[in-house]
């Protein structure tokens, strides 16, 4: 018997603050103006994507004490942007990254329940914990929580938010003009006491169309993966190669059974970048140009400093790697940057980079172009559609959160040329089958409390 083809899930990441984005490209527009958000969201909706995704950066990253142009600066508030987008889209899911370490469940639950109402059932919450005290300094209590406490807070934050969402039954708001009955009972009452939260009161927002927003999780640690297996509907990951994707996929799906959950209840979505061309050769040429745009000489030095944990501003990007090894100890040069945590063994990584540079005779800039963030999918529309489908059918993911390198028009070509090919193959929807994001993702809507 042939295995039934899996349906692919696709989301659009508004790239904003990251070094995938080529802000200097002649086609690039604002990362703050509303028209940019509208453009990308409407393109994603035209292409029948599952959802639009906003990341969150609560503090501008710094390196050597300075804000640097490796990242595009400026990220407006998530809820404000998503609520505005709800008015100019009608089916597309709206996913926002919101931190569980620095916020309060009452406030976040109220915001997501409101977004779910305004969008008629399209809200999703990417729950992140943040990893550094640097970000914590922005908040009143400052400081930070160690890893295990961050996740125990996240877990209880989530459960508390669920209690708030469930504090209204679906039919508690009666508003019967004939009988004059407005409410049934006393909806919204809650009381929650644990080591993190000590709250009681009345939740002001009636039950929203999805009951609870879709939950996305993006932590990669042991605790993060467990948290996702226990509570999330989808997981956002960096594991975008076939081998790493398959290992991650079977790892997180394998954790579901002990929480009494099915394989299909956690959707695995790696971030992915792409470059298209009329032919594969043209796409590869374009990809090389994009990589050079993404990694200027100055950017190459900044990247190298992140591994070396040292000021390398005196080095020539067109010259060889420093003769000395990375500085041991906690990385203090780059602040607020998640990717620095990937260098768990800087000496071993530096050794690999040195071997590669010597073997291929690469300068610092050429090496950085080679070892950081090469595009996941490069080729003609047919090639890219084939690669994406193969990846999903091989259980390396259930789809992708696509990160275009140009804002806001970087998804147009994909929408016009790749999506129709996926549709022809029968692996991507030709239209939405229901109104809510849970419908798009094939997730059930949590039952209203009786
Ligand atoms: C693909 C991906 C995207 C992420 N995006 C964000 C983000 O936009 N904002 C944020 O604060 N954290 C983001 N994170 C980090 C967190 O999700 C997570 O809270 C953090 O890495 C700490 O968890 P961990 O120790 O389990 O990795 C992202 C992580 C991944 C893997």
Asked whether the beta carbons of 391 and 274 are under 8 A apart, the reply is no
Total length of the chain: 450
pLDDT tens-place string over residues 39-58: 999 999 999 999 999 998 88
- Tracing tokens 């079977």 back to the chain, one arrives at 250
- CA 300 from centroid of its chain's CA atoms: 25
Q: Is the pLDDT of residue 104 over 90?
A: yes
Please confirm whether the linkage preceding 382 is cis (ω < 30° from 0). Answer: no
Residues with CB under 6 A from ligand 1: 55-56, 97, 99, 128-131, 218-221, 223-224, 236-238, 271, 338
In sequence order, the 6+-apart residues with CB closer than 8 A to the CB of 168 are: 187, 188, 203, 205, 206, 207
Locate the ligand 1 atom nearest the alpha carbon of residue 218 and give its number.
17
Confidence band, pLDDT 50/70/90 cuts, at residue 140: low
Backbone angles phi, psi at 287, to 5 degrees: -60, -40
- 119-141 residues labelled b (16+ CB within 10 A) or e (exposed): bebbbbbbbbbbbeebbbeeeee
**Residue 251 in tokens:** 């790892």
Which pLDDT band holds residue 444 (cuts at 50, 70, 90)?
Answer: very high
Phi, psi at 58, each rounded to 5°: -90, -10
User: How close is the Cα of 342 to the center of ligand 1, in Å?
Assistant: 12
Q: Give pLDDT tens digits for 12-28.
A: 999 876 778 888 889 99
pLDDT tens per residue, range 321-345: 999 999 987 777 878 776 666 677 8
**Which domains, from first to last, does the chain contain?**
9-280+374-441 (3.20.20.30), 296-371 (no CATH)
pLDDT of residue 75: 85
- pLDDT computed for residue 117 by the predictor: 98
Tell me the CA distances in angstroms from 249 to 24, 90, 242, one per residue in order: 36, 31, 10
Residue 259 annotated as binding site: no
Q: Is the pTM of this model over 0.85?
A: yes
Distances from the Cα of 424 to the Cαs of 383, 427, 429, in angstroms? 14, 8, 10
| DSSP secondary structure string for all residues of 351-378 | HHHHHHHHHHT--HHHHHHHHS---SEE
Summarize the confidence of residues 425-449 as an average pLDDT: 97
Reply yes or no on whether the pLDDT at 399 is more than 60: yes
Atom 30 in ligand 1: which residue has the minimum CA distance? 218
Residue pair 200/220 in contact (Cβ under 8 Å)? The answer is no
pLDDT at 354 (0 to 100): 97
Contacts of residue 348, Cβ cutoff 8 Å, sequence gap at least 6: none
């Amino acid at each position: 018997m042939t295995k039934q083809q899996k349906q692919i899930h696709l989301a659009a990441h508004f790239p904003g603050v990251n070094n995938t984005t080529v802000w200097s490209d002649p086609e690039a527009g604002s990362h703050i103006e509303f028209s940019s958000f509208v453009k990308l969201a409407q393109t994603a909706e035209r292409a029948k994507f599952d959802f639009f995704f906003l990341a969150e950066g609560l503090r501008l990253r710094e390196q050597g004490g300075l804000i640097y142009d490796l990242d595009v600066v400026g990220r407006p508030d998530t809820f404000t942007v998503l609520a505005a987008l709800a008015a100019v889209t009608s089916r597309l899911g709206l996913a926002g990254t919101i931190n569980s370490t620095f916020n309060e469940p009452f406030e976040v639950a109220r915001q997501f329940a409101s977004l779910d109402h305004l969008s008629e059932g399209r809200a999703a919450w990417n729950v992140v914990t943040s990893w550094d005290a640097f970000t914590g300094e922005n908040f009143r209590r400052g400081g930070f929580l160690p890893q295990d406490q961050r996740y125990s807070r996240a877990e209880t934050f989530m459960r508390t938010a669920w209690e708030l969402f469930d504090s209204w039954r679906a039919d508690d708001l009666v508003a019967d003009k004939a009988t004059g009955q407005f409410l049934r009972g006393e909806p919204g009452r809650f009381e929650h006491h644990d080591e993190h939260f000590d709250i009681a009161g009345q939740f002001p927002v009636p039950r929203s169309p999805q009951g609870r927003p879709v939950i996305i999780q993006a932590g990669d640690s042991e605790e993060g993966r467990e948290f996702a297996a226990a509570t999330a509907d989808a997981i956002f990951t960096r594991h975008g190669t076939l081998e790493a994707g398959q290992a991650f996929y079977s790892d997180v799906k394998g954790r579901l059974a002990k929480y009494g959950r099915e394989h299909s209840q956690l959707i695995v979505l790696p971030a992915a970048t792409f470059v298209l061309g009329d032919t594969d050769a043209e796409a590869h040429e374009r990809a090389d140009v994009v990589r050079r745009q993404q990694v200027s000489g100055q950017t190459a030095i900044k990247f190298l400093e992140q591994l070396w944990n040292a000021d390398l501003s005196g080095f020539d990007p067109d010259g060889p790697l420093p003769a000395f090894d990375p500085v041991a100890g906690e990385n203090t040069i780059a602040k607020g940057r998640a990717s620095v945590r990937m260098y768990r063994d800087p000496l071993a990584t530096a050794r690999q980079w040195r071997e590669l540079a010597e073997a291929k005779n690469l300068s610092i800039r050429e090496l950085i172009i080679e070892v950081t963030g090469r595009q996941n999918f490069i080729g003609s529309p047919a090639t890219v559609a084939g690669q994406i489908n193969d990846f999903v059918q091989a259980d390396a993911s259930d789809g992708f959160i696509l990160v275009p390198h140009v804002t806001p028009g970087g998804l147009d070509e994909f929408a016009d040329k790749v999506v129709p090919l996926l549709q022809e193959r029968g692996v991507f929807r030709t239209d939405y089958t229901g109104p809510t994001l849970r419908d798009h993702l094939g997730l059930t809507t949590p039952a209203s409390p009786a």
